Amino acid sequence: MAKLYFYYSSMNAGKSASLLQSSYNYQERGLTTLLLCPALDDRYGQNKITSRIGISAAAQGFGRDEDLFELLTVARQTTPVHCIMIDEAQFLTKMQVHQLGRICDELDIPVLAYGLRTDFQAEPFEGSQYLLAWADNLKELKAICHCGQKATMVLRMDDQGQVVTEGAQIAIGGNADYVSVCRKHYTAQAGRMSSAPSVNTRLA
């Protein structure tokens, strides 16, 4: 039976690069992959997965209201799909994670999801929360804090380089806006966390 995999980490662990390498491995063997990415993440252009090391590939964008099971059903009408790979999977909804499970169980197609585990307030994203609960296989990808320890947390920075502790959970940004750190340095730099995490969306 096909499985649902969740590869999670803080930022700068090579999630997108790992996804693209896995897709290449399938294609090298004559198999077809369907690459998906959230439409709201347009840092490198629409419908595109790009790693910070410079490699990229075209992908199909999806919105929060999109039925991923139906999306795959339509895609398979024109080409076979042997594996689905999803970048920035933290932006999935609970229902979409359920749909990925259906793809594995009913269509016997493996799904590889790559994403952040927690946000800048150390709160889980909706997609990550349910992937951690429902995925068949969990794998942590390693990022490094400036102290050399494993980075498991993410700090959000403002334009002056100061740590931000409140705001919308989703704010699309890159290395200039976020820093991956270990828990010790997250606690030291973020101080007290907001008691009421925001669920609004802001795009940078």
DSSP string, 178-197: EEEE-HHHHHHHH-SPPSS-
Structure token digits, residue 49: 């997965």
DSSP string, 43-87: TT-SSEEE-TTS-EEE-EEE-TT--HHHHHHHHTTTS--SEEEES
Which of 186, 70, 49 has its CA nearest to residue 123? Answer: 186
88 in active site? yes
Structure token digits, residue 162: 């100061």
Q: In Å, what is the CA distance from 9 to each residue of 14, 16, 142, 151, 153?
A: 9, 11, 6, 8, 9
Catalytic residue selected from 70, 88, 126, 140 = 88
- Catalytically active residues, by annotation: 88
